[in-house]
């Protein structure tokens, strides 16, 4: 029973490059959340997606960040023109029904380093 | 808006001693409360959650937490810790203002168990 998969686990980019982070939810889960963990801080909500729909992107920076969860394939978090401040661990979580009481199952995270 | 405060950033303790990790929250609506554990370089794993009913919640690995509505607290306890409990612990609340599981996390508490 595979859990949430994220790749790559570590990603190094130079300032101005693009970063693409992938998340495959638990099989059968159609609800995905992305969180960002900055150094010395807790996780901060970024975006909530259902298949083919963005439900809540209130935690996403307005520029350079985008997310998608297509009908087929993994969810993608895309950061264009990365800056040093984007260096963080990005976690994806999935849940079966997306409800308030659901347990969210977290992936191991992608640690992004911007040089 | 909701917020979660974990009162201790680091808690050192000796093996087999009891431990309490403190969590306070603020919210103007009903909340659901969670404790997650993060081992080094891994994703978050659910320890326990409070949804309703009995205020004492038992979780995995011998942990338990007590929901106290009047004090808006949800402290995590374990009567006797092991070296393997060394990890970072996060308290989180589900946003009662939405219908989905948008989690707000505390800053985390690093528990270090010494032999």
pLDDT confidence bin for A84, thresholds 50/70/90? very high
Q: Does B25 touch chain A (CB under 8 A)?
A: no
Q: Which pLDDT band, with edges at 50, 70 and 90, does A39 fall under?
A: confident
A–B CB contacts, 8 A cutoff, strictly below: 73
Q: Does B28 touch chain A (CB under 8 A)?
A: no
Q: For chain A, state the CA radius of gyration.
A: 13
Whether residue A33 and residue B101 make contact (CB cut-off 8 A), yes or no, is: yes
Q: Which residues of B touch A95 (CB under 8 A)?
A: 101
Decide if pLDDT at B20 tops 60.
yes
In this prediction, residue B52 carries a pLDDT of 85
Contact A99 B101 (CB under 8 A): yes
Half-sphere exposure of B31 (CA within 13 A, CB side): 27
Q: State whether A91 and B43 contact (CB < 8 Å).
A: yes
Average pLDDT of chain B?
Answer: 92
Closest CA to A32 of A88, A83, A89, A107: A107
Band (A102; pLDDT cuts 50, 70, 90): confident
Q: Is the pLDDT of residue A57 over 80?
A: yes
Subunit contact A33:B49, Cβ cutoff 8 A: no
Is A108:A7 a contact under the CB 8 Å cutoff?
no
Q: With 60 as the cut, is the pLDDT of residue A1 above it?
A: no
Position B8 scores a pLDDT of 95
**Residue A97: pLDDT band by 50, 70, 90 thresholds?**
confident
Q: Quick check: A33 and B102 CB within 8 A?
A: yes
CB B86 within 8 A of CB B113: yes
Q: Given CB atoms, is A44 within the 8 Å cutoff of chain B? A: yes
Query: Per residue in B30-77, pLDDT tens?
Result: 789 999 999 987 889 999 999 888 899 999 999 999 999 999 999 999
* Rg (chain B; Cα; Å): 14
Q: Identify which has the larger pLDDT, A64 or A100.
A: A64
Helix/strand/coil percent split, chain B, to 5: 5, 55, 40
- Residue A8 pLDDT: 97
More confident residue, B98 or B58: B58
- The Cα of B37 is separated from the nearest Cα of chain A by a number of Å equal to 11
């Amino acid at each position: 029973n595979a859990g949430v998969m994220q790749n790559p686990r570590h990603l190094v980019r130079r300032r101005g490059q693009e970063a693409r982070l992938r998340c495959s939810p638990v099989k059968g889960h159609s609800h995905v959340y992305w969180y960002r963990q900055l150094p010395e801080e807790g996780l901060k909500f970024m975006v909530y997606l259902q298949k083919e729909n963005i439900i809540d992107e209130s935690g996403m920076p307005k520029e350079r960040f985008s997310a998608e969860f297509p009908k087929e394939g993994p969810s993608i978090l895309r950061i264009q023109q990365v800056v040093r401040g984007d260096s963080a661990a990005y976690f994806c979580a999935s849940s079966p029904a997306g409800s308030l009481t659901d347990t969210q199952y977290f992936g191991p995270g992608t640690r992004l380093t911007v040089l | 808006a909701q917020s979660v405060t974990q009162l201790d950033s680091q808690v050192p303790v000796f093996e087999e001693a009891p431990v309490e990790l403190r969590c306070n929250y603020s919210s103007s609506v009903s909340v659901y409360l969670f404790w997650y554990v993060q081992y080094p370089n891994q994703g978050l794993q659910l320890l326990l959650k409070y949804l309703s009913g009995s205020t004492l919640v038992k979780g995995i690995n011998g942990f338990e937490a007590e929901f106290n509505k009047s004090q808006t607290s949800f402290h995590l306890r374990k009567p006797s810790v092991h070296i393997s409990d060394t990890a970072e612990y996060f308290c989180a609340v589900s946003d009662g203002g939405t219908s989905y599981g948008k989690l707000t996390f505390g800053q985390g508490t690093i528990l270090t168990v010494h032999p």
